[in-house]
Amino acid sequence: MTAVIAVPSSLDDHTFESVLDQLASHPADAKVIIDARHSTFATPYGLTALLTLAQTRPEKAEFLPPENPDTVSYWARAGFFRYAEELFDVRGHVPRPRSAGESDVLLEVTPVTKSDDVHGVVERIQERAASILLNKLHLESRATMGFAMTLSEACQNIVEHAGRGGWVMVQAYNYRRRLGGRYVVVIAVCDAGVGFRSSLESGQRRSLSDRWDDAVALEAAVVNGVSRYGDPGRGQGLKGIRGYVHRWEGKFSVRSGTARIALIPSWEDDVPRRENLAYFPGAQLQIIIPEKVSAAA
Amino acid sequence: MTRIDVGSVLRHSANLPFSDLVTRPTGAAVRRCIQTELAALSEGDVAMLDFSRIGMMDYSCADEVVAKLLIALAGQDAHAGYIVFHGITDAHLEAIEVVLDHHGLALVVQFADGGARLVGSVTDDERAIWETVYTQGSAASGDISAASSHEPAERARILESLLHRRLLRHDGVAYTPLGPVQ
């Protein structure tokens, strides 16, 4: 029996949970059709998470692309179909990607498997990100360098811990859900690897408390800087991301397994910790840096 | 003073066609190359690590290149050389300061005009005495008394600490900065 999984019209880190909830009611090896025909919007998290989902299926899933021509064109420009065509059985015609031109896609969907991929991502992002961060987000010039560092550390999480390749995408857009349409830059880094809990267990770094689950593992790694490596210099990457996000009043969320934790800025209405979510392997990170507004605004 | 061009190490020795110091494997490769060059120093020699041709540096690379290099240098079995850092910009400093703070380390940054600055985890007293030595160019513990409010024993302890952390060096009985003083 084939399960049809409906992709929400607006696909982001919150609505992607409905995709996982639908999948959870079917056997892990069930044949599935991912139906995105009615999708009209997707964040970098949504697109990279869809590719990650494809990696988790033992049998290649079918994929029905968005019917809206603008949407499918955007997904193509974002580089989604370049990899979706390898991972899904994509039905119907999808447009060939054209040059992003002046698009606000700062980094199209890009695979991250090895250390050199991180170098490539950092090299490509800096010039475009500088322009967006300075001119649209009105951040100080030092924010640009921190942005590249943050992106680098987020991608390295895949290389160092996931055990398999993942995806990164960066985009700037008007954040209509919150912030009254202020500009934001969003980084999404998703993988279907071992996840935080297994990673810490492999390094004998699970906590000694009675409770040990995905949420505790996430808190240990993201909040307390625990790494599976015993090296005392480890754990600074996520700590650095937290510091950067806090300094620029951004939002940082990490989902792994059945839990999600988030650093919530004052402008966002979200919860810092969610548990008992539908299981999804690996780790999915999202970083949102908002446009800076003057105190008088 | 031996100059080690970190940009050249990155591109040639570590065989990477990039100008940014990112990722742990890259940092480890660069550090090993630098350590090979440092091993050729004579006792008491100073090497200048030149970051002028490095774009940005992330936390992981700063930990591998800067922190682990300083930790190894401070180790008992380490070769008795000194290093100063040159060409450091704000693009490098953010990551460097974080890892230095994490490990309780400090280093000397040398500017093109000969000026220098302590960066990292140092107390106000350590910084004050280091700056006094730097200003005077070379000084025995007793010579610093006029510029320091510390008791002699405390001053001597701080100087030895700076020496042990390789932020100053000995020149006979005097303490002297690592790099040139103008």
| Interchain CB distance below 8 Å, B95 and A126 | no
> In order of start, what are the domains of chain B with their CATH numbers?
1-121 (3.30.750), 123-182 (1.10.10.10)
Q: What is the pTM of this model?
A: 0.87
Tokens of B170: 């000995």
pLDDT for res A297? 45
pLDDT for res A41? 94
Percent of chain B with pLDDT over 90: 55
* Residue in A74, A273, A285, A75 with CA at minimum distance from that of residue A191: A285
Instruction: Assess A225–B contact: CB distance below 8 Å, yes or no.
Output: no
pLDDT for res A258? 97
B161: left (phi over 0), alpha (psi -120 to 50) or beta: alpha
Q: Secondary structure of chain A in the HEC alphabet?
A: CEEEEECCCEECCCCHHHHHHHHHCCCCCCEEEEECCCCCEECHHHHHHHHHHHHHCCCCCEEECCCCHHHHHHHHHCCHHHHHHHHCEECCCCCCCCCCCCCCEEEEEEEECCHHHHHHHHHHHHHHHHHHHHHCCCCCCHHHHHHHHHHHHHHHHHHHHHCCCEEEEEEEEECCCCHHHCEEEEEEEEECCCHHHHHHHHCCCCCCCCCCCHHHHHHHHHHCCCCCCCCCCCCHHHHHHHHHHHHCCCEEEEEEECEEEEECCCCCCCCCEECCCCCEEEEEEEEEEECCCCCCC
pLDDT for res B182? 47
Mean pLDDT by 10 residues, chain A (297 residues): 94 97 93 97 97 95 96 94 96 77 78 92 85 86 87 91 89 77 91 90 71 90 82 81 92 97 92 95 95 66
Residues with Cβ within 8 Å of A174's Cβ and at least 6 positions away in sequence, in order, are A181, A182, A183, A184
| pLDDT tens-digit series, residues B114-130 | 789 999 999 999 999 99
Tokens of B121: 């985890």
The residue of chain B with its CA nearest to that of A119 is B22
Residue B131: DSSP 8-state: H
| pLDDT tens-digit series, residues B125-165 | 999 999 999 988 888 777 776 667 778 888 889 999 999 89
Residues in B whose CB is inside 8 Å of some CB of A read 16, 18, 20, 22-26, 55-60, 63-64, 67-68, 90-91, 94-95, 98-99, 102-103
Q: Would you state the torsion angle of the CA atoms of residues B25, B26, B30, B32, taken in this order, to the nearest 10 degrees?
A: 10
Kindly list the domain boundaries of chain A, sorted by start residue. Answer: 1-94, 103-297
Name the CATH architecture for the domain at A1-94.
2-Layer Sandwich (3.30)
* Residue in B82, B91, B180 with CA at minimum distance from that of residue A144: B91
State the average pLDDT for chain B.
87
Q: Which of B54, B56, B71, B100 to mutate to test the interface with A (most CBs of A within 10 A)?
A: B56
Of A119, A122, A160, the CB nearest to B24: A160
pLDDT for res A178? 67
| Interchain CB distance below 8 Å, B95 and A232 | no
Half-sphere exposure for A223 (CA within 13 Å, toward CB): 13
| Interchain CB distance below 8 Å, B99 and A233 | yes
Domain A103-297 class in CATH: alpha beta
Say if the ipTM goes beyond 0.90: no
pLDDT for res A164? 86
The alpha-carbon gap from B44 to the nearest alpha carbon of chain A, in Å, equals 28
Residue that is written with structure tokens 């000084």 in the block:
B139
The length of chain A, given as a count of residues: 297
